[in-house]
Chains A and B, each alone.
Chain A
Amino acid sequence: QSVLTQPPSASGTPGQRVTISCSGSSSNIGSNSVSWYQQLPGTAPKLLIYSNNQRPSGVPDRFSGSKSGTSASLAISGLQSEDETDYYCAAWDDSLNGRVFGGGTKLTVL
C-alpha cells in the first residue's frame, strides 16, 4: 500500500489529453513539492516534473504538473504512442522523514 495514491491505469487516444492524479496528505503533498517520473520498460526512471509544475530541460511542454492542497496531477496533452508507459509521483513526507512514491500508473494509448 503506497502512501501516495495513483490510479493503477489510465488511457487515451492519440492527440487526446489525459491526466493522472496523485493523492496524499498534509504531511507529504500538503507541505512539500511533488515530482513526477516516467519509466519506460526495462529502463531507469526519468524526471518529468519537479517542484509541482516545473519541466526539466528536454521534457516536451506536452507534459505539465499541478498541485492543489494534498493532491497533484500530471497532464499529458497531444498524447503520442511513445507516452505509453508507467508514471510515478513522489514527495517528501515530514512524518516518515523520507520520500514517498505513488504506486504508479500504467498509461495506455489506445
Chain B
Amino acid sequence: EVQLLESGGGLIQPGGSLRLSCAASGFTFINFAMTWVRQAPGKGLEWVSGISGSGRTAYYADSVKGRFTISRDNSKNTLYLQMNGLRVEDTAKYYCAKDQGGSSGWSDYWGQGTLVTVSS
C-alpha cells in the first residue's frame, strides 16, 4: 500500500526557513518523480515543485523559484522541500504526491499534508 507522510510544518515568522519532509513507502521510490502541491486556506491547488526519480532534475513554480529547494534521499525514501525566505502568502497546507508519467505526468497518490503558517 502506497503511503506518503508529510512532516515539518508549523508556525514560522516571515523571512524564516522551514524544511518539509515526506516519508514514502509501499513503492520503489527511486522509480517515480515526486511533487509538492500546496493549498492556501479556502483556496485552490497550486503546484509548487517537482523532482525526477533520480533527483537530477527539478522544477519550480515562479512563485517559489529561488526560495524553495526540492530534493530527495532515495536511500531513505524521503522527499524534502527546503523553504527559505518565507512570506505570508506561503501559508498553506503542503501535500507531497507520487507522480506517474514523469514530472510532466499526473499524481496518483497524495499524502494528507502538513500545514505551514507564516505569520508574525
Which of A39, A56, A90, A103 is the one whose CB lies under 8 Å from B47?
A: A90
Give chain B residues whose Cβ lies under 8 Å from the Cβ of A50.
100-101, 105-106, 108
Q: Assuming the A-B contacts A2-B44, A101-B45, are A92 and B100 also in contact, with contact meaning beta carbons closer than 8 angstroms in the complex?
A: no
Distance in Å from the Cβ of A55 to the closest Cβ of chain B?
12
Complex contacts, B103 vs chain A, CB 8 Å: 92, 99
B95 at the interface (CB under 8 A from A): yes
- Complex Cα distance, B107 from A46, in Å, reads 9
C-alpha gap A37/B44 in the complex (Å) = 11
The number of chain B residues touching the other chain, given as a range, is 20 to 34
Per-position 1/0 for A75-108, Cβ under 8 A of B: 0000000000000101010001111111110000
User: Which residue of chain A lies nearest to B6 when distances are taken between CB atoms in the complex?
Assistant: A44
Shortest beta-carbon contacts, A-B, top 7:
A35-B106, A92-B104, A99-B47, A44-B110, A104-B44, A50-B106, A101-B45
Determine whether the beta carbon of A47 is less than 8 Å from that of B106: yes
Interface positions, chain B 35-73, Cβ under 8 Å from A, are 35, 37, 44-47, 50, 59-62
